[in-house]
Structures are given as structure tokens and as C-alpha cells.
Amino acid sequence: MANFKTNSDKYKKIFWAICSPMLAVLTVWLLLKQNQDVSMRDIAHTAAGADKLWLSLAAVSSVLFIFFEAFAIKSILKGAGFSPKFKNSLIYGTADIYFSAITPSATGGQPASAYFMIKDGIPGGVCTAVLMLNLMMYTLSIVALGITSIVISPSTFTEFNVPSKLLIWAGTAAQIALAVFFMTVLKKGDFIFDILERMIAFLGRKKILKNIPKKTGKLHKAKRDYSSCSMMFSGNYPLLLKAFLWNLLQRFSQIVVPSLLFISMGGNPLDSVRLFSKQCLITIGYNFVPLPGAMGVADYLMLNGFSELMEHDMAFHLEMLSRGMTFYICVSFSGLIAFAGYLVRRRNKRHEKN
């Protein structure tokens, strides 16, 4: 059963690694099909004619999304008593970003991130608590930016069409529910280990798993590590605030990209504030969708939101450039860093054996 589950997880990752690029190509093709007056050449021409300063700021901001993830994980690990090098934290972060993007689940990157942490000697229970806290702060930062968007521009939500409003409402409910769930698990996560222990005992009785005492012992150690780590987090308010601020900066660096690109394309800077407000709600609307990168849904919401502020062709160019920077390029860059980190670890392991 254990081998079957391992193989099943591996095949799922392979499936989505193949399927996600195909879905990306299909999404872009459908968008171009629906906007036949616009071609990729037109979009490239728009990018070439954009103000280079604002275009560069947008590019830098989209890359900062990756680095802020690394800073967030590093700060939480430091609070747990570990001091990883920044390059290691960068690999933890990029593994999280890449696998979350190419799998239907927003939490698909946590096992990949934990894999690298465990390889670096961080106990599994600590990894679980660290990633749970980071995911909770990631969720809370989205909710906080959604509230900020309403404060900045109260009429923003009313400008979306009905399907978009429904997605935003559903996304808001999902984010709040997830935040509450993560808080509960972080404070009282022992029940998860209790469930796992009962599963191990059941599989042992069915003769599916062997060496049950050893497996149970490892689980108890992970439970102790998790409990001590989560208790340390719950009373460390400076750490919680720091983790929240890093995640807030991470989300901000991604959400502000369309506004920076809008200005680079000659848009009114005052309208860019409304655009930022819209993008906050757009992010809430697609973040819970169970598709890799919410491909298709994110594009729909962005086009609907942007079209209220500009002509349709400009909205389409802006949407394609924004998604290109914040998703396709960012995810590809993250995947390359994570893969490079994996290769370096394999090489170092071979050298140690020799």
C-alpha cells in the first residue's frame, strides 16, 4: 500500500507536469481565438513600445515574488531554531511555487518544499509546522489585500460581471475558511498524527505494512517536533508578524505588476490604483480554483476587470503580459531553480559516497 501511494503520487506529478504546459498553450490559444484582431506579434509590439522604466519595475516586481517566498520561509525556520542559508530557502520557496502552480491543489508545493528541507536535516514535524504557518500567512495576506482593495476603491467589486462576482465571493469564503482551518491545525494539529497512527495500526493488522513499531516511533517523533514547534510559533508574535509581512510583500509584488505594466503602456497613474484594487479581488476570485495556476479562470477575471478601465484590445494586451510575467515566466524560473537545487544535491551526495 505504501509503495502504491508513493507511485501514485509520483504519477500524479508526472501527469500534471505534462498536462500543465498543454493547458497553458490551450488557454493562450483560446484567448487569441476569441480576440482574433490581436496576435502575439501585436502583444510583442506593445511590450517593445512600453516605457522601459515601468516595464523593468514590473519585471523586477514579478521576480521579487520568488525571493519574498524564500525570505518568509527562512524567517519561520529561524524562529523554529534553524538557520538555513538563503540559497537553501530559495530552493524551498521555488519548489513550493513551481509544484503549487503545476498541480490542481494550491498546497501541491508543500511536499516538494518539505522534501528539500528534510534532505537538509530539518525534522519532518518541524517542516510540517513551518509550511503550515507559511500557508496560513499566505492566505491571510490575500484576505488582507482584498480588504485593502475595498478601502481603496469601494466601487471596485460592483464593476465586475455576475460570474466574476460569484467567483470573488466564493474565493473570499474559501480563503477565510482555509485561514481558520490552518490556525486550528497549527494550534491543535495532534489529531492529524493520531489519525495517521490509527491508519498505520490498521494497515499493520491487515499485514499491508511491516515493522509497525519503527514506523509508529518515527510518527511519534514527528508529532513531538510538530507540537513543540507549533507551541513556539503560537507565542512568538514578532515571528508571526514578520512571516505575515513577508507574505504580504510577496502577494503585493505579484498583484502590483498589472498596474506597473498599465503605466508602462501609457495608462493614467491614477487609474492604476483602481487597477491594483481590481487585481486584489481578481486574485481572491481565482486563487481557490482547482486548476493548475487557475488557468482560464484567472484570464477571464482579469479581462473582465481590466475592460472596465480601458479598451478591450489594451485590456487583452495587459492581461497577456501580466500573466506572462507573474505566472508563466515566474513559474518556469522557479522550476529551473528547484531543479538545479535537486541536481546539486544529487551531485554532492555522489561525491560524499565516493
Quick: pLDDT tens for 170-225.
999 988 888 888 777 777 766 677 777 788 888 777 777 777 887 788 777 777 76
Calculate the dihedral angle through the C-alpha atoms of 201, 205, 12, 119, rounding to the nearest 10 degrees. Answer: 50
Q: How far apart are CA 8 and CA 206, in angstroms?
A: 21
Q: Residue 140 has which C-alpha cell?
A: 491571510
Q: What is the Cα–Cα distance from 226 to 3, expressed in whole angstroms?
A: 25
Cell of 350: 555522489
* 3 state DSSP class of 331: helix
Tell me phi and psi for residue 223, to 5 degrees.
-65, -45
DSSP calls for 147-201? HHHHHH-TTTGGGS-HHHHHHHHHHHHHHHHHHHHHHHHHHSTHHHHHHHHHHHH
What's the pLDDT score for residue 50?
Answer: 87
Cell of 326: 507573474
Residue of higher predicted confidence among 118 and 30: 118
pLDDT of residue 265: 92
**Contact between residue 261 and residue 322 where contact means Cβ atoms under 8 Å apart:** yes
What's the pLDDT tens digit per position in 2-41?
343 444 454 455 554 555 555 545 554 454 444 545 556 7
Nearest to 261 by CA among 332, 309, 298: 309
pTM of the model: 0.80
Q: Residue 318: pLDDT band by 50, 70, 90 thresholds?
A: very high
Please state, in angstroms and rounded to a whole number, the distance separating the CA atoms of residues 74 and 32: 41
Question: Would you say 229 and 126 are in contact if contact means Cβ atoms under 8 Å apart?
Answer: yes
Q: Give CA torsion, residues 34, 36, 42, 47, to 10 deg.
A: -10
- At 197 the pLDDT is 76
Per-residue confidence at 313, pLDDT binned at 50, 70, 90? confident
Q: How far apart are the first and last CA of the chain?
A: 34
**Does the pLDDT of residue 308 top 90, yes or no?**
no
Mean pLDDT over 268-272 rounds to 91
Could you report the per-residue pLDDT of 33-77, keeping only the tens digit for each?
A: 445 455 567 677 777 888 899 999 999 999 999 999 999 999 999
For residues 227 and 221, what is the distance between their CA atoms, to the nearest angstrom?
Answer: 10
CA–CA gap between residue 276 and residue 252 (Å, rounded): 9
Please tell me the predicted confidence (pLDDT) of residue 29.
Answer: 45
**Arithmetic mean of pLDDT, 86-99:** 91
* Cell numbers standing for residue 200: 498505520
Top pLDDT among 12 and 256 is at: 256
Of residues 251 and 110, the one with the higher pLDDT is 251
Residue spans per domain, the chain: 39-353
Predicted pLDDT at 105: 55
> What is the C-alpha to C-alpha distance for residues 213 and 73, in angstroms, rounded to an integer?
33
- 93 CB burial (10 A radius; 0-12, 13-18, 19+): buried
Least Cα distance to 327 among 15, 27, 18 occurs for: 27
Average pLDDT value for the chain: 81
